[in-house]
């Protein structure tokens, strides 16, 4: 089909109303553009609401850290302007073995020497206000986080990290964007995208720039790109529980299992020992690809998780064994057997060898996705990045790809798990 004369026209059309799409809509609206967001669902139901609400900036590396820092600024703005629940909680990381504590010492040292130019204190919690990583001895950590006291060797607090309520955040952001003139076309499926036009089940929409932010469903519109980039679906098991903790959990809590998952930890000398010990002593949890962590919502309930399993499709049938193992591990973490399950759910997100998909398959059509479990941490800035790239391309009247060098980095993995700084003169800066 060609663009019809009766097609509605917008400056920017965004396919997908998850956190990346909302970030793109915000960036476009801030620039005074006419924006439409298109989504096949009646409301946000995907990975944007099925997560911990942990805005985990400090453990990221490379481009992920850059996006995380910029997203942090946007989240704090949304707290004020869009009435989104966000707290400057930081992150607790508990060390329950000496090898985990050694990894945290290495993490603090690397953070002190890093580009952020911050320091770390190895004492009992006294540290300058601007540190990225504050090391804590066992007594101090026990006084700050309600974990099982006998298991604590020490820990760390990452003060720059944030927490939000994932169930409240996306609806609040969307409502605020509507009040600013952004149009939302929900219950509208996109059937095809090409330069200048989005074909939908309610007719064609014309747009000068198009951002496609559909996460794992990228294979529905661009199967060849999903296959080329190795994008699959990652399913995960999560729960919300209530229980008696010895004190409130004032910040998201990570464990040694969590250290195995983030770019800034991946390069630490001690991580291999942590991995070896955990997989040897808890092979059942390792088989579940566990990230043992928790956040506490404003109502006092805890989000706990999570397991991981991958495929081109993920089965909807969740293993009760996985939930029971998760409940057991969480009870041991907090030193309680009185955890009552309120809800269980399955999350699904895109998974690939690199952390992000950034592509321009046709002039003016920009595909972006977080292809690991850091969408809430990085997604607002990733959406902004796509809009900046799109507008840079329009300003230059160029028919070539915008982020050639950055896409090459993502495909090779150089901006992925280990994380190297994102750079390239032909790529836009976040602002």
pTM of the model: 0.88
Find out whether 368 and 382 touch, Cβ atoms under 8 Å: yes
> What is the structure's pLDDT at 112?
87
Contacts of 75 (CB under 8 A, 6+ apart): 55, 84, 86, 162, 164, 380
Q: Which residues of the chain fall short of a pLDDT of 70?
A: 1-6, 114-130, 394-431
Q: Are 312 and 218 in contact (CB under 8 A)?
A: no
223 backbone dihedrals φ, ψ, rounded to 5°:
-60, -35
Q: Which residue segments constitute the domains of the chain, with CATH numbers given?
A: 8-71+165-230+353-412 (3.50.50.60), 91-159+232-351 (3.30.9.10)
β-bridge mates for residue 341, sequence order: 241
pLDDT at 393: 76
Pairing of the two strands 190-194 and 197-200: antiparallel
User: Residue 19 in contact with residue 78, Cβ under 8 Å?
Assistant: no
d(CA 26, CA 42): 20
Distance CA 285, CA 291 (A): 9
Rg (CA), the chain: 21
Taken in order 147, 149, 154, 159, the sign of the CA dihedral is positive
């Amino acid at each position: 089909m060609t663009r019809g004369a009766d097609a509605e026209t917008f400056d920017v059309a965004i396919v997908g109303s998850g956190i990346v799409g909302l970030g793109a809509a915000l960036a476009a609206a801030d620039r005074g553009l006419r924006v439409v967001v298109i989504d096949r669902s009646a409301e946000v139901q995907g990975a944007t609401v099925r997560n911990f609400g942990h805005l985990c900036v400090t453990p990221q590396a490379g481009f992920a850290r850059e996006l995380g820092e910029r997203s942090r600024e946007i989240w704090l703005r949304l707290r004020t302007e869009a009435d989104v629940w966000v707290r400057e909680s930081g992150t607790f990381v508990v060390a329950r073995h000496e090898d985990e504590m050694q990894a945290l010492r290495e993490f603090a040292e690397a953070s002190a020497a890093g580009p952020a130019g911050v320091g770390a204190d190895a004492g009992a919690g006294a540290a300058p206000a601007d540190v990225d990583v504050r090391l804590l001895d066992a007594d101090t950590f026990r006084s700050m986080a309600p974990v099982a006291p006998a298991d604590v060797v020490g820990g760390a607090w990452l003060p720059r990290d944030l927490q939000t309520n994932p169930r409240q955040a996306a609806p609040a952001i969307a409502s605020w964007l509507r009040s600013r003139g952004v149009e939302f076309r929900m219950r509208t499926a996109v059937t095809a995208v090409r330069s200048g036009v989005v074909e939908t089940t309610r007719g064609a929409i014309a747009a000068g720039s198009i951002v496609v932010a559909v996460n794992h469903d990228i294979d529905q519109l661009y199967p060849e790109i999903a296959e080329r980039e190795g994008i699959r679906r990652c399913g995960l098991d999560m729960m919300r529980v209530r229980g008696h903790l010895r004190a409130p959990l004032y910040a998201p809590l990570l464990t040694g299992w969590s250290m195995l998952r983030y770019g800034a930890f991946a390069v630490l000398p001690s991580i291999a020992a942590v991995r070896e010990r955990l997989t040897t002593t808890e092979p059942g949890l390792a088989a579940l690809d566990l990230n043992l962590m928790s956040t506490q919502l404003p109502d006092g309930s805890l989000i706990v998780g999570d397991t991981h399993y991958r495929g081109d499709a993920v089965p909807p049938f969740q293993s009760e064994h996985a939930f029971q193992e998760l409940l057991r591990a969480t009870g041991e973490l907090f030193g309680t057997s009185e955890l009552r399950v309120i809800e269980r759910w399955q999350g699904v997100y895109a998974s690939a060898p690199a952390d992000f998909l950034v592509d321009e398959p046709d002039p003016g059509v920009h595909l972006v996705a977080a292809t690991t479990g850091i969408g809430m941490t990085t997604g607002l800035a990733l959406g902004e990045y796509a809009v900046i790239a799109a507008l840079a391309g329009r300003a230059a009247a160029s028919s070539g790809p915008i982020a050639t060098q950055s896409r090459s980095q993502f495909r090779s993995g150089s901006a992925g798990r280990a994380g190297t700084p994102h750079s390239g003169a032909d790529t836009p800066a976040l602002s």
